Structure 1
Amino acid sequence: MPTAERLVDVLTSSTKSPSPDSPGLKDPGGTVLVEEVVSEECPDGGLRAWLVVLGVVCGMCATVGLLTAWGTFQAYYQEVELPHESSSNIAWIGSIQNAMLFAPGLLFGRLFDKGHLRLPVFVASAAFVACVFLTAQCTQYWHFLLCQGFGMGLASGVFFNMGNMVMAHWFKRRLGLAIACSFGGAGAGGCIFPIIVRALLHRISFQWTMRILGFTTLGLLLVSNLTIARRLPGTRDLGPLINLAEFKKPPYSFYVASLVVNTLALFTVFTYLTVSAVGEGVNADMSFYLLAIANAVSTVGRVISGLLADRFGPLNVLIPATLLTAVVTFTWPFATNVASFVVIAIFLGISTGATLALLVQPFARMGPVPEVGLRIGMGLTVVAIGVITGAPMSGAILDGTGSFKDVGYAGGASI
């Protein structure tokens, strides 16, 4: 078969699920066992599985990657677009972006468990690109909050949630590596987009900078829509939207609570790294590249942490990564020159990259595959409490004390 026809065959036939009426898919009582039978045949690799990974990587790069570059926009908005707004108010835009990755997790998890994927991915892709183009027309604070905060954040949440949920359909033994690759896409975007934004803002207007970003993300999201697909059928009887029984399990509830406290400061250094560097006299151009350095290193950290998680278990790798993030947050305010800020950026990328790549994995391993969307969705929805309040709290501390050291102390203690 010609190569092109073979690729089309892989993209279409491999996503078809066995019919519940097929022999051997029911027990003597008539209970459907499709999910259990199919999940036992998890491919754990192969062309179709890695095409799904490619699609998720492109989607995460375009959406979460652009959100990860928020520090660049924070500094630019404080200086140019929104100079009369406080740093805390501007930080709300980035905080809402990040919160929208987590908050709709319950809804997206429900849709995923019911068998939906392609339609939400398409709608999210269209909405994200539209919001990028609309951001180019923003002139007031509430415009940016609506388009860049809620709009882009919510659309990115589809890829952040469903993109990682679908990995459990295609991978089991190598699940850590697959999810790490998807977050590596976000890291790659977070590395590339700050450089693009800074270079374009020197040459053209903010409006055309955002339009070029819109066309760039459009191309990446086209790849996502062509390659992302489910392997398992949806579950017919899902029960209640919220399964409180999960929270009665100590490992689940304790893990969710720990993530809420952790995320209060997880994005603090990313938000204020550029601003603090400029405040210490670092060249403005160099300060913008600090985020690119951090995100470039985070890509490596995410992939390596995924490999280690497959070998030693996600929690055994996540705990040291979290401790390193706390150390970086404590020490970041004491950076005073280019060399020290570069060191902070490198260790920030390693620690937060590993943390973000691993925080979803324990949910996927806490129960059966058909309920993975419910577990991840409920957990991430609660975690959004920490995400949405973290950056504004740090901004309020900064506005009240005028010192990044106080921000670092509070953030490091929280992590």
Structure 2
Amino acid sequence: METLPEIAKLHHRDDYVDIHLQVVSIDEVVYQNVEASNQNAFHGSAASGYQPSLERSLDGSSLRQILGNNEGVGFGSGNETESYPDGGREAWLVVLGSFVGVVFHFGLINSLGPIQTYISTHQLSDVAPSTIAWIFSIFLTTNFGFCLLGGTLFDYYGSRIPMSVGVVLTTGGLLGTANAQYVYQFILFFSLCTGLGLAFLQTPLFCLVAHWFSQKRALAAGLVTLGVSVGGVIIPLMLSSLYSSVGFTWAIRVLASLCFVTSGVSIWLTKERFRKTSNGVLATPEGQTQISKPLLYRFAGYINNVFDLKAFKNPRFTLCALGMAGAEVYLITAITYFSSYAMAQGVDEKAAYLMITVINASGVLGRSLPGILAYKFGAFNVIVGMLTAVTVCIFALWFPLGHNLSVLYTFAVLLGITSASVLSLAPVCLAQVTPIQSYGRCYAMVFFMVAMGNLVFIPLSGLLIGTGSKENYGHFVLFCGFLSALVTTWFCAARYYLVGGKISVRV
């Protein structure tokens, strides 16, 4: 049995501290030589006499006493000692399936501009722009807010049920949107039905990799979120082409067909490894005890516990959640108004829309490279560096030199790389401070915060922009810069709660 100093030695390699602060693998970190025994013990075997437990004593002291009595998300109460494949055919097929689903999911979100432009000049040409804006505001709020339902279903029943519900709602909503002619029809079919369907799809697509990867989690998550940039380039260009060739109705029908096919492929390729049982502990799908109560009856009971407010007693989770939600909100807001900012600076409409494609295309590098860097240096270290970089770019390039076309294109590339890096690494950081059996719900809680943030900050940004003068847009840029600095501070504080003031720490 190792003493505490001996345990500390396990994490030092050539004076470079390698701290692996993932709650779900504390025993794996301490007892690195019993990974095989963990697997047997998880299935009820007493192989090698090893019985993993979070409360296992180390020379009279429990892990809770050594690491601190963390409430809420910091430590779960279940058996969180399962080892992770970190590779293999099944694990990489999950990555591929999640990637395919994300291409459509965020490709559609990144297509809001082309959809808004078309309906405002055709079906809703006689409707005020402020009224049309509610269609997309409600869509984003529904999409991010109802991730809570998808997260709860995912934790207890796995990925198949929420993803199947999501593909039905999304496909049906898009087919209805194709024939919509009035504002209430767009709100019903697009904002509510399609937004709700995407909410059920989103949580499993981004959370499944956490079931299969630990050491390589940042790399796997980076590959999955690469689909955000790929979809952000392909689908807007596809819609723009279809509008002129077959019209809006058939363009959206093609999009609905793409939803059905890509989501079907995702459901086929992906599967979870853990589910949360009725008493809150982890179980494999094969080993989970069946309960006689109907699914809907049980789910109604789980809805009462959708918000785990005790999670926010843990400052690491709270700060990480604030940082992740804040990053999503201010980056979405900045990108939403970027083309209109460019037009206010005298850039022609075609070039202004092209900049959005530049941002999304640059995100391909931004979502692949950080996963590799995070594997070597740690997700928190990389995300803090990227947030610092985007904050510097806002104050050094966008605000003082945004009137210059070359600088705008340069900033668009840098914004695409840094924003994609932040958005892809934020869920990885969240996974490091969240027990695996509650990750879906905690992830969904963060995106509920994103939904509320979008409902507030997008209209607030519109108020700052006002008449659309250069001066007003300057205020908007400063607003984005201060939000970026605040988010950077939150992630730095979360990192401090994890490792203190140490600099050369992989976390």
Shorter-chain-normalised TM-score: which range? 0.7 to 0.9
Q: Spell out the pairing of 1:121-136 with structure 2 (5 A cutoff).
A: 121-136=163-178
Decide which moves more: 191-200 or 85-94. Answer: 85-94
Decide which moves more: 238-247 or 165-174. Answer: 238-247
**1:279-312 per-position Cα deviation (integer Å, ceiling 9, x unaligned):** 4454433333322221111122011112222222
Q: Spell out the pairing of 1:76-225 with structure 2 (5 A cutoff).
A: 76-225=118-267
Decide which moves more: 230-239 or 172-181. Answer: 230-239
Contact 1:69 1:191 in 2 (8 A): no
Corresponding residue for residue 297 of structure 1 = 362
AA partner of residue 396 (structure 1): L
Residues 53, 313 of structure 1: alpha-carbon distance in 2 compared, 3 angstrom cutoff: same
Contact 1:51 1:227 in 2 (8 A): yes
Decide which moves more: 53-62 or 254-263. Answer: 254-263
Corresponding residue for residue 478 of structure 2 = 409
AA partner of residue 391 (structure 1): I
* SS of residue paired to 1:360: helix
Q: Spell out the pairing of 1:372-383 with structure 2 (5 A cutoff).
A: 372-383=439-450
CA distance in 2, matches of 1:28, 1:271: 49
1:285 and 2:307 are equivalent in the alignment: no
Contact 2:325 2:446 in 1 (8 A): no
* SS of residue paired to 2:276: coil
- Using the size of structure 1 for normalisation, the TM-score is 0.84
Query: How well do the aligned residues superpose, as a CA RMSD in angstroms?
Result: 3.1
Higher radius of gyration, 1 or 2? 2
Decide which moves more: 184-193 or 154-163. Answer: 154-163
Q: Select the structure with the greater relative contact order (CA < 8 A; seq sep ≥ 6).
A: 1
Q: Structure 1: give runs of 5+ residues left out of the alignment.
A: 1-16
CA distance in 1, matches of 2:330, 2:224: 23
The partner residue of 2:335 within 259, 263, 270 is 270
AA partner of residue 172 (structure 2): A
Residues 207, 401 of structure 1: alpha-carbon distance in 2 compared, 3 angstrom cutoff: same
Corresponding residue for residue 422 of structure 2 = 355
CA distance in 2, matches of 1:195, 1:328: 28
Decide which moves more: 306-315 or 52-61. Answer: 306-315
Cα displacement (A) at 1:27? 5.8
Contact 1:290 1:342 in 2 (8 A): yes
Decide which moves more: 374-383 or 246-255. Answer: 374-383
Residues 234, 256 of structure 1: alpha-carbon distance in 2 compared, 3 angstrom cutoff: closer
1:244 and 2:314 are equivalent in the alignment: no
AA partner of residue 110 (structure 1): T
**1:9-39 per-position Cα deviation (integer Å, ceiling 9, x unaligned):** xxxxxxxx9998753499699xxx99545x2
The partner residue of 2:270 within 222, 228, 249 is 228
- Using the size of structure 2 for normalisation, the TM-score is 0.70
Cα displacement (A) at 1:351? 1.7
CA distance in 1, matches of 2:275, 2:40: 8
The partner residue of 1:46 within 70, 85, 88 is 88
Decide which moves more: 401-410 or 277-286. Answer: 277-286
Q: Structure 2: give runs of 5+ residues left out of the alignment.
A: 1-38, 54-76, 281-301, 485-507
Decide which moves more: 47-56 or 367-376. Answer: 367-376
Q: Give identity over the alignment, percent.
A: 27
Decide which moves more: 19-28 or 248-257. Answer: 19-28
Aligned residues: 395
